[in-house]
Amino acid sequence: ELATALNDRGQVRYLRVEFAAAVQDFTAAIECQPAFEVPYYNRGLVRYRLGDFDEAMKDFRKVLELNPQFEDAALSLNQAILDKEEKQKRGY
């Protein structure tokens, strides 16, 4: 399945700290199979790591819309919300 292969390649790129390429792969996987929640989660993790909390939260919310039982997405969403609030408090 193409979406799974793209997601897997994105994972490898993420581990190699090739974040832009990883996001491209996760996005391509989503375009191939929009109901596949895993690439949304993975893309959210990259965006979170880059400090793009708003986009990360969108991805984590989409995961939970597709699969409300995806516990790691719920935890990641909560952490992104907390970190965004902390970033705003510190003014950066």
Closest CA to 28 of 14, 38, 39: 39
Predicted local distance difference test score (pLDDT) of residue 92? 73
Domain span holding position 81: 1-91
Mean pLDDT to the nearest integer, 47-52: 96
Predicted local distance difference test score (pLDDT) of residue 22? 98
Mean pLDDT to the nearest integer, 29-35: 98
50-77 confidence digits (pLDDT tens): 999 999 999 999 999 999 999 999 999 9
In whole angstroms, give the CA distance from residue 17 to residue 63.
23
Looking at the predicted structure, is the pLDDT value of residue 40 above 90?
yes
Place of tokens 């700290």: 17
- The enclosing domain of 11 has a CATH number of 1.25.40.10
Tell me what percent of the residues of the chain surpass a pLDDT of 70: 100
Number of domains in the chain: 1
Closest CA to 73 of 82, 63, 65: 63
pTM for this one?
A: 0.94
